[in-house]
Chains A and B, each alone.
Chain A
Amino acid sequence: MTPHEVDPRALRARYPDVFDRPASARLAIPAMIVAAFAVLVYGLVDLDFSPSRFFAGLSQLGWITLMMIPPDPGSSLPIYLKALGETLSIALLGTTLAAIFALPVSLLAARNVVPSNILRFPVRRFLDSIRGVDTLIWALVWINVVGLGPFAGVLAIAVSDFGAFGKLFSEAIEGADQKQVEGIRASGGSPLHEIRFGLLPQVLPVIAGQVLYFIESNTRSATIIGIVGAGGIGLQLAEQIRVLEWQKVSFLILMILVAVAAIDFISGKLRFAIIGRRAVA
C-alpha cells in the first residue's frame, strides 16, 4: 500500500488560516507570556528578592527542617490536645452560628424570594464586604471586643462565614424549583408558607452539605486564628515558632495535618449520607 501523495502547496491553498496565521495571532500568546514574566521580574526586584538572600534563607530553612526531626511534644502534649479540642470547637460553633444567621439573610438576597432589586442590592453588597475581609482581620476586631481567647475566634469565624454562607445559600435558593412555591401559592398559602413548605425542603439538604463542607474548611482557618491570639492550636504554634522550639513546631504541624485529615474523612462520609454522592458541590 502506498501512502497518499500529499501536495503541501495544495494543502496550504486549502487551509490558509492554519498555515498562514496572521502575525498578530501568532504573537499574542508569547507576548502575553513575556508580559506576565516581565511583571514577575519587576515584582521580584521590587520585593527585595536577591539570590544571596534567597540561598541564605534556604540553608537556614534546611537547618530548621533538620532541627524539626524528630517531632516531639516534650511535656506539653495535654496542652496541645486541649488546644486542638479548642480549635475543633471554634470551627463547629463558628460555622453553626454563621449558618443560623445567614439563612434568613440569604432569603433576602435571593432573586426568587425578594424580586425588588433595590432591597436585594444592599444586602448582597453587605455580604460581599463581610466576605472581602479576611477571617484573621475579624479575629483582631473581636479580640478588641471580647478579649483574647477562643470566644473571639468563634465570633470571627461566625462573622466571616456569615458572608460566605449568605451568598452560597442565596444561590441555592435561586436554583430551587419554583413549581412547588407556585403550588403552595395556588392553594392559598402565605409568603411564609411558600418559603417554609415550598423552598426550604428543597434547599435544606444542599445547605446542610455546604455547612458540613465549611466545618471542614474552617478547621483549617481555626488552626491559624490563634496566631493573632484568638485561641486554639495556632496560638501554641505561633508561640513555639517564636521561641524556636522546632521539634514542638513539627509536632504541632503533624497534629494539624492529622486533625484536618480526620475531619475531612468524617465530614465527607456525613455529607454523602445526607445528600448522596451526586449532589456534592
Chain B
Amino acid sequence: MTTAVSILPAQQLAVLDAAYRRAVGRKRLRLLLGIVIFGAALVLAAIGAEVNLRTLFTYFGNFVSYFDRILTLDSGQRVWTDVGEWLWGWRKWLKMLGETLLISYVGTLIGATVAFCLNFFAAENTSPAPWLRFVVRRLLEFARTVPGIVFALVFVIAFGLGPMAGVLAIAIHSTGALGKLFSEIVENADMKPVEGIRSTGASWLSCMRFAVVPQVTAGYASYALLRFEINVREASVMGFVGAGGIGQELVVAIRKFYYSDVSAILLTIIIAVFIIDITTSWLRGRLFGKEART
C-alpha cells in the first residue's frame, strides 16, 4: 500500500520536533512536580497521624484474628455451626433494628418536610428576597456541614439519652442536605408556568403551589428516598453517643468483647442496609422511571 505522506524538510521538522519535546517535557515535569508534592503531603500526614508501620505489622495479626474471634462462639466453634446460639438475641436485636429504621424514617420525613418548606427561599429563581435567600442558604449550609453525630452529642445533653436526640440530629442534618438538593431542582424548573400563574394575579404562595411544586415533586421524592438510605447507616451509629438504635447494642458488644455478638449485630445491620438499598432503588425505579435515578 502506498501512502501519500509528504515529508517535511529536515530543518522544519527539527523545529517541530523540538517544540513537541518541549511540550511533552513540560507536561512530564508538571506531573512529576505534582507527584512530589503529593508524596510530601502524604509523608507529612503520616507523621501527623502517628502512622507506625511496625505497629501495623505487629498487630496486623490482631486484625485477622479479630475477625477470627468474632466468628467464633464461646464454645470455640464457628458461628455458623450453631446459628441458634450465634443469633441468640435476635428478638432484642430486631427490635433495636426496628428502632433504628424508625429513627431514620422519622428523621428523614421531618428533615424532608422542613427542607421542602425552606428550599423555595433558598432557590435563586423563587426566593422572594435576596437577604432571605442568603440567610436560609447559610442556615442549610451550617446544618449539613456539622456532622449529624455532633448534633446528636449536643442533643443527648439537651434532650436526655434516647432516640429523640438521634431523630432530631438526623432531621437537622437531612434538612441541610435535602434543602440544598431540593433548591437545585427548583432552580432547574421551567419558569414559564410561574409567569403564567403570576399573570393571573396570584400570590407567591399560589405560584409555588400550582407552578413549581407539580414540576419538582418527583425529584424531591427521589432525593428523599436516597437520603433515607444514607440515614439508615447514620442511625446505626447514633447509639454510640447514646442516641438510640442498634448502635447502642453494638458498642456495648464491642467494648465488652462479646465477640460473637459483634458479628451477629453487624450481620443484622448489613442485611438491613442491603434490603433497604434494594427496596428503595426498586421503588425509585418504579415511581420515577430510569431517568430520575441519580
Binding site for B on A (CB under 8 A): 36-37, 39-40, 43-44, 46-49, 53-54, 57-58, 60-61, 64, 85-86, 88-90, 92-93, 96, 128-129, 132-134, 136-137, 140-142, 144-147, 149-151, 153-155, 220-221, 223-224, 227-228, 231, 234, 237-238, 241, 244, 249, 253, 256-257, 260-261
Contacts and interface: CB of A to CB of B under 8 A. Distances in A.
A241 B156 CA distance: 10
A65 to B, nearest CB: 9
Interface string B35-57: 00000011011111111100110
B240 A253 contact: no
Contacts of B236: 134, 137
Contacts of B99: 46-47
B109 A40 contact: yes
Mostly, the B contact residues are: helix
Contacts of A60: 157-159
B254 A144 contact: yes
B278 to A, nearest CB: 10
A48 B164 contact: yes
6 contacts: A46-B102, A47-B102, A64-B157, A64-B158, A133-B269, A227-B153
B155 interface: yes
A48 B157 contact: no
B102 A253 contact: no
Given A92-B41, A132-B274, A145-B66, 16 more contacts: A46-B102, A47-B99, A48-B162, A85-B48, A90-B45, A93-B42, A96-B42, A133-B269, A136-B237, A145-B60, A146-B55, A151-B52, A154-B51, A237-B150, A249-B154, A257-B145
B241 interface: yes
Contacts of A37: 109
A57 B56 contact: no
A57 B163 contact: no
Contacts of B237: 134, 136-137
Given A44-B106, A144-B66, A241 B51 contact: no
B162 A90 contact: no
B244 A47 contact: yes
B208 interface: no
Contacts of B124: none
Q: Name which of A47, A140, A155 has the most chain B CB atoms within 10 A of its CB.
A: A47
A58 B143 CA distance: 17
A223 B149 CA distance: 10
Given A64-B154, A227-B149, A92 B42 contact: yes
B146 interface: yes
B155 A57 contact: yes
Contact of B251 (A58, A140, A155): A140
Contacts of A134: 233-234, 236-237
Contacts of B142: 257
Nearest to B69: A144
Given A89-B46, A132-B274, A227 B241 contact: yes
A155 B53 CA distance: 12
Given A146-B56, A220-B147, A47 B159 contact: no
Contacts of B46: 89, 93
Mostly, the A contact residues are: helix
Interface residues on B, range: 35 or more
B51 A93 contact: yes
A93 B167 contact: no
A85 B45 CA distance: 8
Contacts of B41: 92
Contacts of B178: none
Q: Name which of A88, A137, A223 has the most chain B CB atoms within 10 A of its CB.
A: A137
Contacts of B44: 89
Nearest to A241: B153
Contact of B159 (A53, A90, A228, A256): A53
B59 interface: yes
A260 B176 CA distance: 15
A260 B142 CA distance: 11
A205 to B, nearest CB: 12
Contact of B49 (A89, A141, A142, A228): A89
Contacts of A39: 105
Contact of A132 (B160, B254, B269): B269
A150 B160 contact: no
A39 B66 CA distance: 40
Contacts of A234: 150
